[in-house]
Structures are given as structure tokens and as C-alpha cells.
Amino acid sequence: MPTSPIFKLPDSIPTPSELAEAWSKVVANAIQLAGAATERSLSPQAPKPFDAAAPARAFGAFAAHLFANPSELLAAQQKAASDWMKLWTNAAARAAGAEAEPVIAPERGDRRFKDPAWDEEPVFDYLKQAYLLTARRAAELIQGAEGLDEATRTKVDFFTQQYLNALSPANFAFTNPEAIRRAIDTGSLSLLSGLANLLADAASDAGLVQRRASEEFELGVTIAATPGSVLYQNALMQLIQYSPTTDEVYRRPVLYVPPLVNKYYLLDLQPKSSLIRWLVEQGHTVFVVSWVNPGPELADMDIADYIKLGPVAALDAIEKATGEREVDMFGFCMGGTLVAIALAYLAAKGEGDRVASATTIGTLFDFSNLGQWAAFTEPEQLRAMERHLLHKGFLASQDLQALFSAVRANDLIWSSVVNHYLMDREAPPSDILYWFADGAHIPRAFLLSWAHDILRGNKLREPGGLVLDGVAIDLGKVETPLTAISLKDDHVSAWTATYDSARLFGGDVTFMLGGSGHNAGVINPPSANKHGYWTNDALPETAEQWLEGAIRNEGSWWPWWQSRLSDGGKAEKVPARVPGDGELAVMEPAPGSYVRNRG
């Protein structure tokens, strides 16, 4: 058998000074961690925002189900025994020098096992396949459990995936061939430095693995750099107007309402991928709501406050800045849900004509199909969150980041564990991951109402189910034309659920399906010519019927959508508007001060 490249001796070994420096970092960070732990133990701690007993409760219910249905467990054990027999036969053949087809292979896009040694070296190939077989059988056991209530199935599946993700052999120094190779090449310096990184992260307030990149982005310079000005602000938001790049612009301004959980500049990353810059270049006057990063002083701000001081206040400010009463409004994710609530709020007050068209991207209005997110809406979880919010006044961005990271743990947690703790490697610069880490807090009153009334109560589905300041919210009475854009591989808002949601509106609805996932599918400039998108003018009963009749188009959906905003380029135009030319004076340059506050 040939000698594995992971056992190749290094060309050099660390000098005593290099080893001493590495150990010094370990000791220094250990002392820092001890100090942080002492400080935390002496300071009053808010109750945890999650129910720590939830996994035990879910697995207990599943165990009870299996106890009452032993045939399911027996069938799973028989399948597992057959798998292991095939795997052992495969391993024996490889040990004898013969070729053998793998029993199981990683799914497409699973980057944990990309190193060649996972396929070429029999030991690591066996570890990989054993792990994948275990994961597959666990998933099949859960999904095939007949009679198990869906709430328990969802929770058990989610927590099982978390455990399986954590137990991947790629996450451990002695079972990851790439980590072993690097440890040998560096004379163990990679593991010592990785230990120092782990101790430093444990000492931080976030307590999460920190992404270490060789290049940091700078707001207003290399990211969120589209030229513009803040023209208006209140307690909850700043309103940015972007500077024109064309001599004429379309008469109707465009207003973007982002979600609360992240900063607005997902749509204004680097210039080459900025949807905001691209819209400006197409001749639109673009306004953006930049939410404040709230602290405990804003704990009592609820959904009604965010609607009135957010999109509704923005409409008033835009009219003063441009003289235009009508706008085209769009929102992404939770921001799209806020757009929908604002439309219903305005319609109920007889002001629905202020929004000429609305677009929602990756947005739910009907929350009956939450998928894995349902694991966080059970009563015990909501009570834990409520105790935390009553103590602190807001849910911190770090807690929200941990939640979203758990849903994509292999990409957002364990890949960083491997890179920073096992191999001490810096991650390549990523504007989208920089944005993801730059989260925002959510006030107590808003989040409690959102969790109870919208997520769990699903009151947007009921006509008048949600009432804001005495105004009944009824999506069925919204006559504003709606374009609902979804993403085919969206892990946050499943596209089939967003399709069902869009059918709640009373006006004309056009549905479009873009390629890729929740964030990457939105950041899809035409120059990249990626992902593609599906269109269908009909709106049949089910999402599956819609897709069967849809036409697939190549490239980005941005031009398709812009054509709708501009009526194919035929919409009326006016001389370009410069920020500050209207009734509102410039307050400060974009991206403004609210977006810079990390709390």
C-alpha cells in the first residue's frame, strides 16, 4: 500500500521561539477566558433565550413512540445491519487492494469531505461512509415514523441534525486528514494556534466561533458604498436617498424595507453585486430604510410602531423629498412581511393608493409551514424567550446569529471550527459573511408580538386577525399589485410556502422563482449570469402546478423585475433628483450612523 501523503515528514520543524510564542498565546487566552468567566459569574445573568430542555423533551416523546411501535425500530436496525455488512465487505476489499464501489457518497454540495484523502485512504473513507450511513438511517427512522405528530417530528429531526453535524469526523483533529496533514506540516503549531483561537472565542461576549478573515470590509468605502444621503430619521430608522447616475429618472421612487435581524446592506454589498447601485444605474430614485440597532430604551416598540415609524413614515418623507405620493415598495424576508402589513394598514385607512406596486423577496405571510423553524415556536421555547426579553429588553444580535447559524451549521459553524481551531487558517474575504456577522437586536415588544401573533398564531392568514392601533390587518383587502419573488433553494422561507402565502392577497399577484438560496439567490447581478429563474403568468392552486407550467430563463432575475418596475422602460421620467433638492435637507452621507452601531 502506498504511503499516504498525510504522513509525509515536514521539510522543517518549528523553532523553540515559534513554539514558545504559540504556547504564550494559549496561556494568555486561557487567562483571558478565566477572567471573563469570573466576571460573568459575578454579574447578573439574563435567563437564556431558549429552552435547554427542548431536545430531551423531543427525544423523550420520540422514544415513547418507538417503544409503542417496536416494528419501526426493528426495521431500521435491519437496514442498518445490511448497511454495515456492505460497508465491512467494502472495507475488506479495499484492504486487500481491490477496487470497491462506495456504499454511500456525500450529497452534492457537502464540502466537509472534499479533501482527496476521504476517498483515497481506506481508513478515512471508512470513517466517512460510516458517518454518512448513520446519518441517513437516523433521518429515515424519523421521517418514516408513522403516526408521530408533525411537531415532534420537526423538533426531533432538527435536534438530530444538530448532533449529527457536530459529530462529523471532519470536526475532530485526529479524524480529519487535512487537519492531520497540517499538524504534521507545522510541527503542531496549527493545533496550538487553533487552541488559542478557541480560548479567545470562548472569552468573547458572543461565545461563538469567530470568522477570521485576512481582509476586513469598511462601511461606506468597500461595502455599503453606493453614494447617497440620509434625509430623515426617527427613533427607529434613518431614510437614505441614493444619488442619481442618470440625467433622467423614473417618476415613481422605489423604497426598500429590509428585515430587522440584519442591516440593510445585503442589497448594497460590493459595487459589482449591489442591487441598490444597479437600480440607481437603471434610472430609479432609490430610498432605503436603515433600521436602528435598538437597546433596552426601545424595549416597548412593537409592530405598530415599526410600521408607522418605518414604511409609513418613509412614504411621508419621500413625498417631501420628491413631491411624489406614489412609490414602488419592496422588502426582503421579514422586511417583505412588514411591507405586506404596511399595505394592509394603509388600505384599511383608505391610503392604499400610496403604493403603486409592491415586491416581496423570500417572504412568508402564511406561517403554517415553518419547517425546521417550528422547533423554536413551541410554548416552552416562547416562554423561555419571554423571560429573557423581560429581563434584557431585547434579543441580542449574537443570539439571533446563533439561531440562524444552527440552521446552516455545517456552513456557518463547523466549517469555521475546522478552519480556525483545527488548522488555524484565515477564511477568504466574504462580503456576505461580513454582513451576516453584522446583526442587529430586536426589541422585546416587537419580538413577543411577532412570535405569538404572527409566527405561532399565524394571524396574518386570518382577515383582521392582527390589529395594530385599532386597525385590522387584512391582506385580502390589499389591491396593490404584488410581485412575489422566491428562491428555489431557500432554507429560511421555503418557496412552496411563500407561494401559498402570496395567494392571500386580494389584488393582482405575480409569482417568480429565482435559483439558489435565501441570500445568494438575491445577490445575483446580471453580469454574473448565474442561477436562472422561472416565470409563469398563471397562479394555480398549488406551487407544484405553478412550477409545472413555468418557463425557465437563464441569468439573473433582476432585469425581469426592473422591467416590471419601469413598465418595460416606458414609465414616465423626470429630471434626476439629487438628495437635498426637495423639502428635506441632507443630514449625513450614506450609509448613515444607524447602520454603524453594532450595539
β-pair partners for 395: 442
How long a stretch of residues is the chain? Answer: 599
Count H helices, E strands: the chain?
21, 17
Cell 496549527 found at: 190
Per-residue pLDDT of the chain (599 residues; tens, 9 = 90+): 444 555 677 777 888 888 888 888 888 888 888 888 887 777 677 788 888 899 999 999 999 999 999 999 999 999 999 999 999 999 999 888 888 899 999 998 899 999 999 999 999 999 999 999 999 999 999 999 999 998 899 999 999 999 999 999 999 999 999 999 999 999 989 999 999 989 888 888 776 787 776 667 999 999 999 999 999 999 999 999 999 999 999 999 999 999 999 899 999 999 999 999 999 999 999 999 999 999 999 999 999 999 999 999 999 999 999 999 999 999 999 999 999 999 999 999 999 999 999 999 999 999 988 878 888 888 899 999 999 999 999 999 988 888 888 888 888 889 999 999 999 988 888 899 899 889 999 999 999 999 999 999 999 999 999 999 999 999 999 999 999 999 999 988 999 999 999 999 999 999 999 999 999 999 999 999 999 999 999 999 999 999 999 999 999 999 999 999 999 989 999 999 999 999 999 999 999 999 999 87
Residues 474, 476, 479, 481, Cα dihedral to 10°: 110
Cell 515536514 found at: 10
333 belongs to the catalytic site: yes
- Residue span of the structural domain in which 523 resides: 228-367+459-596
Give the helix/strand (H/E) hosting 122. helix 122-143
Phi (first) and psi of residue 202, to 5 degrees: -65, -30
Is 295 in contact with 235 (CB distance < 8 Å)? no
CA distance linking residue 209 with residue 400, whole number of Å = 14
What is the pairing mode between strands 355-361 and 327-332?
A: parallel
Tell whether 164 is covered by a domain.
no
Give the helix/strand (H/E) hosting 231. strand 228-233
* C-alpha cell of residue 24: 504564550
pLDDT for residue 3: 46
CA distance linking residue 102 with residue 114, whole number of Å = 15
Tell whether 80 is covered by a domain.
no
Tell whether 440 is covered by a domain.
no
pLDDT for residue 2: 46
What contacts 196, CB < 8 A, 6 or more positions away? 22, 25, 26, 28, 29
pLDDT for residue 598: 85
Is 385 in contact with 289 (CB distance < 8 Å)? no
Tell whether 23 is covered by a domain.
no
pLDDT for residue 328: 98
β-pair partners for 219: 223
Tell whether 327 is covered by a domain.
yes
Tell whether 380 is covered by a domain.
no
Phi (first) and psi of residue 47, to 5 degrees: -55, 150
pLDDT for residue 1: 42
Please name the amino acid found at residue 298. L
Please name the amino acid found at residue 342. A
**Degrees, nearest 5: CA angle 292-298-299:** 125
Out of 333, 437, 455, 502, the active site residue is 333
CA distance linking residue 82 with residue 139, whole number of Å = 17
Tell whether 1 is covered by a domain.
no
| Structural domains counted in the chain | 1
CATH of the domain at 319: 3.40.50.1820
CA distance linking residue 149 with residue 214, whole number of Å = 48
* C-alpha cell of residue 126: 471508512
Tell whether 454 is covered by a domain.
no
CA distance linking residue 595 with residue 290, whole number of Å = 7
CA distance linking residue 33 with residue 39, whole number of Å = 10
Cell 435547554 found at: 52
Q: ω before 591 within 30° of 0 (cis)? A: yes
